[in-house]
Structure 1
Amino acid sequence: MSNTLNETQSSPLQWQKVSPWAVLYFVVHFCVRFVKDGLLNLLPMLVVFVTQVENKVFWAQAAGGAALVSLLVYSILYYLNFKFCISDDHEILLNKGVFKKERLTLKFARVQNVNIAEPFYFTPVNLVNCIFDAAGSVSQEAVLPGVTKDYAQQMRKQIFAFKAQHQTEDEHTEHSEAHTTENSLRISNKEIAKFGLMSNMAILAIAAIAPFINVLVDFLEQQIITKVEGFYQQELGLLASAATFAMITLIALLVLIAVLLSVGMSLIRFYNFELYFKGQKFKRIAGLLERHQLSMSMDKVQSIVIKQNLMGRLLKRFTVECLQASSGGIAAGVAAKKNKQTLMLPVLNSEQVDSVCQWIYPWFNSKKLQFNGAERALLYKNLSFYALLPSIAVFGVCYLGQFNSWLSLGALLVLSGLVTLSYQRYGYYLHEDNGRFYLVVRKGMIGVHYRVFELYKAQSARSISTYLMRRAGLKSLYIQLASGFAFIPYIKQQDADYIIDFTLYQAESTKRSWM
């Protein structure tokens, strides 16, 4: 092993301790947990502190000092109680906890990925974090902080060698026949910045500062708005117009700050993005403060999601996610996206999307997919419920409030256009390639969302139909996956029944592992 791993002989098991530098990891880890889980609960208290408490500097220094000392003491105690062991039964054992002792047992067979993360604070001492991911479950993730990179690579090889010995003969043959050509993709930081514009991080940033908006507005009104208003008043000569322009300037400034925060968070997460594919395995390296290395076997990919929102459409860029198994059930899609082991390619153009997808599905070409659309009954229903009825309500409000009734016509045209776009996006495409069967499901409105998966990885398939749908011979179809679900609305009854029967047949008859 290395000099960073100190063996103890206090029990029959060979318990080991990580490097003392791991205290840094625990400090950062508990800080992040506090920000994610505890900060929101303290926001009301912080608002009261900012608005009501006098002598803020003194009390802020006292509270900050006490919190820092508590954090350091707790992190040191956590490090002293943190021990790990690799048993002869091919298990990873972890002892951890301060007030609540916990032992985590993780079998080699349940380890889905072994990832290596290199935080910036470990770079000077050449240490990394070795992360064991169990079947896509974040709660079962085990981390060995502060070990050498050679030891982490050794653990990865040991676990993958163990899993390779327990593969079925068919899987072994399939992997041995797979081509070993390495494909790679690098995304420039300029492109990563575009992901900050495409993602919803700007909205989250605005939501984060919402509790402080009154304090912030008061501060800006005293320091900035008054000066800006005076400038506009001098230039425009009208006090009312000056106040309006000053408020517009303030709103634009807040939006700009949120966008810059979103771009900054994107760069921190995906800085110098590198993706490699070789021997049926992905390896992704990215991150500014922490160079995180994520490995994923192609067999673990349950589905691929390709999506493009309004900003992505303006920039002509897509986001691709390779989803692993999540907790299942109704919230499977949410759990899969929150899973830290999800492989996300933040910003790609259409050619790059096809290239990456062809690493997994050689037949995939987004320009040649011939989708079967939904029946027109879906369009008529949505026009009635989501365009006509709201427009009638707008007309009633305009009539009672003595507003211009032409607003209702404008609402009808806008809503009808959106409903029509949504209807045109719905579609599905069934494909066969070398005895394997795939389904591509499309949806969207202004943007577009594709889900691509192999049929045998489906967990269940069911159909629903209302009375009017049954009279028209139509059904809507749900296919549950381990990483979410696919929804195909308003297709012919015989087509829905065929897809359900064929999907279940593939799931039951295919012997290949889907995990």
Structure 2
Amino acid sequence: MDEQQWQRVSPWALVYFVLHFAFRFIKDGIFNLLPIAVLFVTQVQNKLFWGQVAAVVAVTALLIYSVAYYINFRFCITDEHDILLNKGVFKKERLTLSFLRVQNVNVAEPFYFKPLGLVNCIFDAAGSVSQEVILPGVTAKYADAMRERVLTYKENEQEQSSEPSTTDLAEEQSQRNLTLSNKEVAKFGLMSNMAILALAALAPFMNVLFEFLEEAVINRLETFYEQEVGMLVNAAALAVFSILFLVVIVAIFLSVVMALIRFYNYELYFSEGKFKRIAGLLERHQLSVSLEKVQSISIKQNLIARVLKRYTIQCFQATSGHAIGAKNKQSLVMPVLDVTQVNQMLLWIYPWLDQTGFDLKALNFKGVERALLLKNLCFYALTPSVLLAAFSYVTEVINPLFCIFIFALLSMFAFLSYKRYGYYFYQHEGRYYGIFRSGMLGVQYRVFELYKAQSANSISTYFMRKSGLKSLSIQLASGTVSLPYLKKDIANGIIDFTMFQAESEKRNWM
């Protein structure tokens, strides 16, 4: 390719554009069409005919738009080390991305490109999904060459720190790797919230779905249960319960399938201070992350993960300041690790840690003030329980013992949340690190080096000020970490020390 001229990607990239815009329509546009879909299902008589007409129109429009987008899609690599990209159909866009702003150059190999030896070359811009550049349908050789060119340029431009870094330490070590079996990956589907998301996606269709199920399935199940169990149980309730159970099973199955699609044949390599992850079923996605660019890490274990004795580690890079994980596809996720693998990952990220002596659970975390427990008990346990008791008194529908049970349950949740909150600071060779703990039935640890903080502040309500309390918030390039209800002096001390580390440290946090 002539890198000084505007270029087009391979004609095979048209397949990528068709699938890309189809997925975007399903993900973003279909919810806007839900009212029309409901009217179509409930009001239209000849559903098959008009459904076919709508499908033909949608597919034709998708193909025409994809072809027009491909024709307008051009890119150029300049001598000034910029990536220029022209794209758009109705709204033309010119995107300029400097090599210095490229956080990673990743390679994805979709299944439809694999026989052709083509890949998608992804220039991951720090902090903005909209500024990300994807060149679909380029050769693997070209993508590797671009990655080497960008990374070499950035290394030459960036100032080298005089202090030994974690990268320097890692260069002395040989390449290390971690592989996860697909059986382990399937467990991540059980641990993650994908099943809940699948049920949420079905929620708008529940009324129509239950009407269909009532006619096609529930009535037959009710008849079957009446014949088999007679008067022992309510046949109608048992039929509805069976359908709900089936829906939950289907959601869990979809969650496992989604986990396998994303992390199939998971491979992780660590060498010279860089992670390289290869995973995916329909798209073998190669993600490279430099250890120096990791802003913070999260170690999570929810309720199901506790039963399975597994953890999830996520390495966050710079985002645009929105919610943590906004660029989830470009963040490094180690989905399902046992305790030994967690310690192994911590040693890779923080090589100075002693594997035999370091245990997150054994750290002497300092907790938050008891006022947080009292507030949560009042607002989230006592108030709902009193309202429920008042409702039961007026209507005489709910047993008063049920209100007591609800209060006890909510109080337990409030207490568990209060006990989970904690913080711990430690230092090694002049470097200071913080660990913030939170959770309820599960637990989450956020680990970060203090000098990477961008800002730190505190918030206090009127009653908190009366009690000399503050809630702490530290802004990182990867999101915000917070801790509620600390004594004023402690919160101010953490803020002052954190900002001192951020302002006095000369190392590049990016």
Q: Is 1:265 matched up with 2:258?
A: yes
Q: Is 1:195 matched up with 2:185?
A: no
Which amino acid counterpart does residue 335 of structure 2 have in structure 1?
P
Q: Distance in 2 between matches of 1:492 and 1:219?
A: 57
Higher deviation after alignment, 110-119 or 56-65: 56-65
* Cα-to-partner distance string for 1:225-256 (whole Å, 9 max, x where unaligned): 23222221111123972212111111111111
Q: Is 1:115 matched up with 2:110?
A: no
Q: Is 1:50 matched up with 2:41?
A: yes
Which amino acid counterpart does residue 160 of structure 2 have in structure 1?
E
Q: Is 1:226 matched up with 2:219?
A: yes
1:88 is aligned, of 58, 63, 79, to 79
Q: Distance in 2 between matches of 1:217 and 1:380?
A: 43
Q: Is 1:340 matched up with 2:329?
A: yes
Is the CA contact 2:170–2:271 (under 8 Å) kept in the aligned structure 1? no
Q: Distance in 2 between matches of 1:466 and 1:326?
A: 29
- 1:343/1:245 CA distance change after superposition, 3 Å: same
What does 1:274-293 correspond to in 2, within 5 Å? Answer: 274-293=267-286
- 1:244/1:178 CA distance change after superposition, 3 Å: closer
Is the CA contact 1:233–1:239 (under 8 Å) kept in the aligned structure 2? no
Q: Distance in 2 between matches of 1:95 and 1:386?
A: 52
Q: Distance in 1 between matches of 2:193 and 2:262?
A: 14
Q: Distance in 2 between matches of 1:215 and 1:273?
A: 39
Q: Is 1:506 matched up with 2:495?
A: no
Give the Å deviation of 1:472. 4.3
Q: How many residues align structurally?
A: 502
**Helix, strand or coil at the partner of 1:374:** coil
Is the CA contact 2:319–2:327 (under 8 Å) kept in the aligned structure 1? no
Q: Counterpart in 1 of 2:379?
A: 385
Q: Distance in 1 between matches of 2:206 and 2:406?
A: 32
Higher deviation after alignment, 266-275 or 413-422: 413-422
Q: Is 1:431 matched up with 2:426?
A: yes
Q: Is 1:415 matched up with 2:410?
A: yes
Give the Å deviation of 1:275. 1.1
Q: Is 1:128 matched up with 2:150?
A: no
- 1:398/1:357 CA distance change after superposition, 3 Å: same
Give the Å deviation of 1:136. 3.4
Is the CA contact 2:421–2:438 (under 8 Å) kept in the aligned structure 1? yes
- 1:63/1:171 CA distance change after superposition, 3 Å: farther
Q: Distance in 1 between matches of 2:78 and 2:72?
A: 19
Q: Distance in 1 between matches of 2:162 and 2:119?
A: 32
Percent sequence identity is 59
Higher deviation after alignment, 474-483 or 132-141: 474-483
What does 1:92-491 correspond to in 2, within 5 Å? Answer: 92-170=83-161, 174=165, 175-176=167-168, 178-179=170-171, 180-238=173-231, 241-328=234-321, 332-334=322-324, 336-362=325-351, 363=353, 365-402=359-396, 403-491=398-486
Is the CA contact 1:354–1:366 (under 8 Å) kept in the aligned structure 2? no
- List gaps (5 residues or longer) in structure 1: 2-6
Give the Å deviation of 1:470. 4.3
**Helix, strand or coil at the partner of 2:323:** helix
- 1:177/1:422 CA distance change after superposition, 3 Å: closer
- List gaps (5 residues or longer) in structure 2: none
Q: Distance in 2 between matches of 1:474 and 1:220?
A: 54
* Cα-to-partner distance string for 1:126-148 (whole Å, 9 max, x where unaligned): 10000001113111000111111
Q: Distance in 2 between matches of 1:272 and 1:390?
A: 47
Higher deviation after alignment, 196-205 or 386-395: 386-395
Is the CA contact 2:221–2:239 (under 8 Å) kept in the aligned structure 1? yes
Which amino acid counterpart does residue 403 of structure 2 have in structure 1?
S
Q: Distance in 2 between matches of 1:60 and 1:421?
A: 51
Q: Distance in 1 between matches of 2:385 and 2:16?
A: 56
Is the CA contact 1:136–1:339 (under 8 Å) kept in the aligned structure 2? no
* Cα-to-partner distance string for 1:407-446 (whole Å, 9 max, x where unaligned): 3332332222111111111100001012110000001111
Q: Counterpart in 2 of 1:4?
A: none
* Cα-to-partner distance string for 1:369-403 (whole Å, 9 max, x where unaligned): 22011122332333333333333333333333345
- 1:394/1:483 CA distance change after superposition, 3 Å: same
Q: Distance in 2 between matches of 1:138 and 1:16?
A: 23
Q: Distance in 2 between matches of 1:318 and 1:240?
A: 41
Give the Å deviation of 1:199. 1.6
Q: Distance in 1 between matches of 2:238 and 2:411?
A: 34
Higher deviation after alignment, 414-423 or 376-385: 376-385
Is the CA contact 1:307–1:319 (under 8 Å) kept in the aligned structure 2? yes
Using structure 2 for the length normalisation, give the TM-score: 0.93
Give the Å deviation of 1:194. 1.4
Q: Distance in 1 between matches of 2:413 and 2:37?
A: 42
Q: Is 1:78 matched up with 2:69?
A: yes
- 1:477/1:230 CA distance change after superposition, 3 Å: same
Q: Distance in 1 between matches of 2:36 and 2:9?
A: 38
Give the Å deviation of 1:466. 4.2
- 1:157/1:172 CA distance change after superposition, 3 Å: farther
Which amino acid counterpart does residue 498 of structure 2 have in structure 1?
T
Using structure 1 for the length normalisation, give the TM-score: 0.92
**Helix, strand or coil at the partner of 1:446:** coil
* Cα-to-partner distance string for 1:333-371 (whole Å, 9 max, x where unaligned): 34x344431111222222222221221123253243220
Q: Distance in 2 between matches of 1:271 and 1:193?
A: 9
